[in-house]
Amino acid sequence: MRVLVTGTTGGIGGAVRAAALACGWEVAEVNRGAFDAPLPPGPFDALVFATGTCPVKPLAATTDEVLAATFAVNCGLFVKLLRRIVAERLYAPGGMKALAVSSVSAIEGWAGGTAYCASKGALSAACRALDAELRPRGISVRAIEPRYVRTRMFDACAGRMGVDPALAQPPEELAVGILEALA
């Protein structure tokens, strides 16, 4: 299995990378600063998009710039990457499974999370539309919406979300489920 993983400098993407390597999978990486650079050579059997940002801002501070930047990272980079994979035919001849890590925040809001929640909702919706479009090419696209995952980003947001950090699962646990979904 050859998988392209994003967000490997963070908790979820790093855990997916480590778990995939432990399973003997070949892993290629692309991180936030490299989305415009040439992609690693394909073909890929799978894509795991685990890139994200979580600004915590009250409505008065949720400017157009904050919204645009959050959408650009949390949803736009996934669409851009998948568009490039399809255009450059970097998917395996038998197809590819693309999985985007969204969030329960796509369906459950919290104070100060307008930009994050909206962008994750958009990511989940985009995956449904992309799956409908790309399924005939053998490319399945889906989002997962994990509840709480213990990462630096979660730790920074947990207090505003009103969530006890002890309720969060370790990213390694989520990574196992992601690999099972791709196998």
Q: Which domains does the chain have, with CATH numbers?
A: 2-182 (3.40.50.720)
Longest dimension (CA), the chain: 49
pLDDT in tens, the chain (183 residues): 999 999 998 899 999 999 999 999 999 999 888 888 999 999 999 999 999 999 999 999 999 999 999 999 999 999 999 999 999 999 999 999 999 999 999 999 889 999 999 999 999 999 999 999 999 999 999 999 998 887 877 777 777 777 778 888 899 999 999 999 999
What pLDDT is recorded for position 138? 98
Q: How far is CA 24 from the centre of its chain?
A: 22
Q: Which residue has the tokens 């930047």?
A: 69
- This model's pTM is above 0.85: yes
Pure H helices in the chain: 11-22, 64-71, 77-87, 114-134, 152-161, 171-182
112 to 46, 54, 118, 149, 152: CA distances (angstroms) = 34, 10, 11, 19, 17
